[in-house]
A and B are shown apart, each in its own frame.
Chain A
Amino acid sequence: MCRYRKTTRYVSILMTIILGLMFMPVQSVFAAMVGTEAVLGHAEMQSAREKVRVFLDRRDVQDVLTSQGIDPAEARARVDSLSDAEVQAIVDRIDGLPAGGDLLGPLLLIAVVFFVVLIVLDLTGVTDIFTFIHPPEK
C-alpha cells in the first residue's frame, strides 16, 4: 500500500512536470488575446445561473419552497454559492420541464423543487445526499 502511494507520488510529480512543460510555451505565446470561446463559455454559465434565478422567482416554485419551510431568498443565496457544474446540473433538470400545463407539469415541478430543496439542505449541512456538495465551513 505504502509502496503504491510512493509510486503514485512519483507519477504525479512527473505528470506535473510534463504538463507544465507542455503548456508553458503555449501560455507565453497566447497569453495576450482572450479568445471568443472563453467568453462564450462564460456567457453560457451566466445564462445558466440566470435560468435558476428566474426559476426560483416563479410564484409556484416559491410556494413549494415556503411550504417546505425554506425562505426563497435563502434558497437563492445558496444557489449563488454553487459551482458552475452544480448550477448546470440544476438547469438540466429545469430544462426537462414541459412548458404546457398538462398533468405531468406539476409533478415534474415538484420533483425539481424537491431536488433544489435537497441541495439547499445539503448546503446547510442538514443532509448529505449529494457528494459534490460541501457545506460551508462554519
Chain B
Amino acid sequence: MLLLGFLFNLLAGCATFRQMEMPSLPEGLPASHELTEVPFFSQEKYQCGPAALAMAISWSGLPARSEDLVPEVYTPSRKGSLQVAIIAAARRHGRLAYEISDLESLFPEIAAGYPVIILQNLGVSWFPVWHYAVVVGYDAARQEVMLRSGTTFRKIMPFGVFEKTWARSNYWGIIILQPTQLPALPEEKAYLSAVLGLEKAHRFEAAVSGYRTALTRWPQSLAARMGLGNSYYAFGDLENSEYAFRETIRLHPRAGSAYNNLAQILMERGRYAEAREMARKAVSLGGPLQAVYRQTLKEIESKMSQ
C-alpha cells in the first residue's frame, strides 16, 4: 500500500514539474536544527496518530505511552485517527494543542524546541495515504527535513517531497505545549482557541494557566481576561474569579459580559446590592447578549425580594 502510494507520488511529482525550495528562514533562525532528544515510539499497524501524539506529549514533559493513547485517539472503523481526536486527547491530558497551518510557521517552532505533529498524504489526492509524523529537525543547506515517522526513528525527507505530502493536508500541524508555554510565533486567536479547548475539556486549572500565559503576551485581550474569570469560576474559586472580572471591567469598561459575569458571582457570594448594580450596568450597555444580562438582573432582583 505504502509502496503504491509512493509510486503515485512520483507520478504526481512528474506531472506538476514543481520542486519547492525551503522558504527563507526568518532572521536569527539557525540554518539547521534538530531536536535529537524527542522520544520515539514505533507505530503499530495504522496507528501513527497515537504514536505521534505520544512522542509530542512525552516531549512536553508528561510521560505518555502510545498504547495508552490508542483508545482516546484511534478510530477502528476508519483505520486511523481523526485530527480532532488528536487535539481532544492532548487537551484531556491538560496540554495545549496549538494549530499551525502554513509552511512558514514550521521551522521557527522547531528552532524554539517544539516538535510539530503534521498530517501528510503520502499518496495523491485521489488515492490518499494519510499519515501522521513528527517533524523534529531541518537543514536548509541540504534542503532536508527530519521526522519521527512510522517505524523509522530518524527519517530524512527531501524538502520538495515533504512539502508536497504536507500541502495535501493544507499544512495541518499541531504543537503540544504546556499551558505556561507560548509558541515561537504566537497568534492571539489561535492561542486563545487552544486555551478555550482546555476549558471545554474541563481542564480548568490548565485553562487558568493558559489564559495567564496569554495575558503575558496580550495583556489587553478581552477574551483571555473573560476566559480567566470563567475558568476560576468553573472550579469554584469565586474570589479569583471576581478579581479577574473586575480587572476585565477596568480595562474594558464597555464589556457588558464582564459586568454580567461579575454580577452573577457577587450574587452567589450574597452581595446582592453590588450584584444588582453590575447587572444593571450590563443591561444598559446592551449588545447581542442583552437577553442574558436581563435574565441575570431578574434573578438578582428576585433573590433580593425573597
- Which residues between 191 and 234 of chain B lie within 8 Å of chain A, taking CB atoms? 192-193, 196, 199, 221-223, 226-227, 230-231, 233
Complex alpha-carbon distance, A125 and B267, angstroms: 51
Q: Are B289 and A40 in contact (CB under 8 A)?
A: no
Q: Within 8 Å of chain B (Cβ to Cβ): is A80? A: no
Q: Are B193 and A40 in contact (CB under 8 A)?
A: yes
Q: Are A32 and B299 in contact (CB under 8 A)?
A: yes
Closest to B207 in A: A36
For the complex formed, measure the closest distance between the CB of A84 and the CB atoms of chain B, giving whole angstroms. 10
Complex alpha-carbon distance, A40 and B228, angstroms: 12
Q: Are B260 and A36 in contact (CB under 8 A)?
A: no
Closest to A47 in B: B189
Q: Within 8 Å of chain B (Cβ to Cβ): is A34? A: yes
Q: Within 8 Å of chain A (Cβ to Cβ): is B257? A: yes
Answer whether A43 and B222 are a contact pair too, CB < 8 Å, given A32-B264, A32-B299, A37-B196. yes
Complex alpha-carbon distance, A28 and B296, angstroms: 10
Interface centre among A28, A36, A38, A44 (most CB of B within 10 A): A36
Closest to A46 in B: B222
User: In the complex, how many residues of chain A place their beta carbon closer than 8 angstroms to a beta carbon of chain B?
Assistant: 16
Contact-residue bracket for chain B: 20 to 34
Contact with B along A102-113 (1 / 0, CB 8 A): 000000000000
Q: Which residues of A contact B231 (CB under 8 A)?
A: 36
Interface centre among A35, A38, A39, A40 (most CB of B within 10 A): A39
Complex alpha-carbon distance, A2 and B222, angstroms: 51
Given B223, B260, B288, B296, which contacts A40 in the complex, CB threshold below 8 Å?
B223
Contact with A along B277-293 (1 / 0, CB 8 A): 00000000000110110
Closest to A27 in B: B295
Q: Are B292 and A40 in contact (CB under 8 A)?
A: no
Closest to B259 in A: A34
Closest to A40 in B: B223
Q: Are B292 and A31 in contact (CB under 8 A)?
A: yes
Q: Which residues of A contact B264 (CB under 8 A)?
A: 32-33
Q: Are B295 and A32 in contact (CB under 8 A)?
A: yes
Q: Which residues of B contact A42 (CB under 8 A)?
A: 222-223, 288
Complex alpha-carbon distance, A37 and B200, angstroms: 9
Q: Are A36 and B226 in contact (CB under 8 A)?
A: yes
For the complex formed, measure the closest distance between the CB of A2 and the CB atoms of chain B, giving whole angstroms. 37
Complex alpha-carbon distance, A27 and B182, angstroms: 36
Complex alpha-carbon distance, A106 and B291, angstroms: 46
Given A28, A31, A35, which contacts B230 in the complex, CB threshold below 8 Å?
A35
For the complex formed, measure the closest distance between the CB of A101 and the CB atoms of chain B, giving whole angstroms. 15
Q: Within 8 Å of chain A (Cβ to Cβ): is B121? A: no
Q: Are B223 and A43 in contact (CB under 8 A)?
A: yes
For the complex formed, measure the closest distance between the CB of A36 and the CB atoms of chain B, giving whole angstroms. 4
Q: Which residues of A contact B255 (CB under 8 A)?
A: 39
Q: Which residues of A contact B221 (CB under 8 A)?
A: 43
Beyond A33-B264, A38-B289, A43-B223, list 17 extra A-B contacts (CB 8 Å).
Answer: A28-B295, A31-B291, A31-B295, A32-B264, A32-B292, A32-B299, A34-B260, A36-B223, A36-B230, A36-B231, A38-B257, A39-B255, A42-B222, A42-B223, A43-B192, A43-B221, A44-B189
A-B residue pairs, 5 tightest by C-beta: A31-B295, A34-B257, A36-B227, A40-B223, A39-B226
Q: List 29 A-B contacts (CB under 8 A).
A: A27-B295, A31-B291, A31-B295, A32-B260, A32-B292, A32-B299, A33-B230, A33-B233, A33-B260, A34-B260, A34-B292, A35-B230, A36-B196, A36-B223, A36-B226, A36-B227, A36-B231, A37-B196, A39-B223, A39-B226, A39-B227, A40-B189, A40-B193, A40-B196, A42-B223, A42-B288, A43-B189, A43-B192, A43-B223
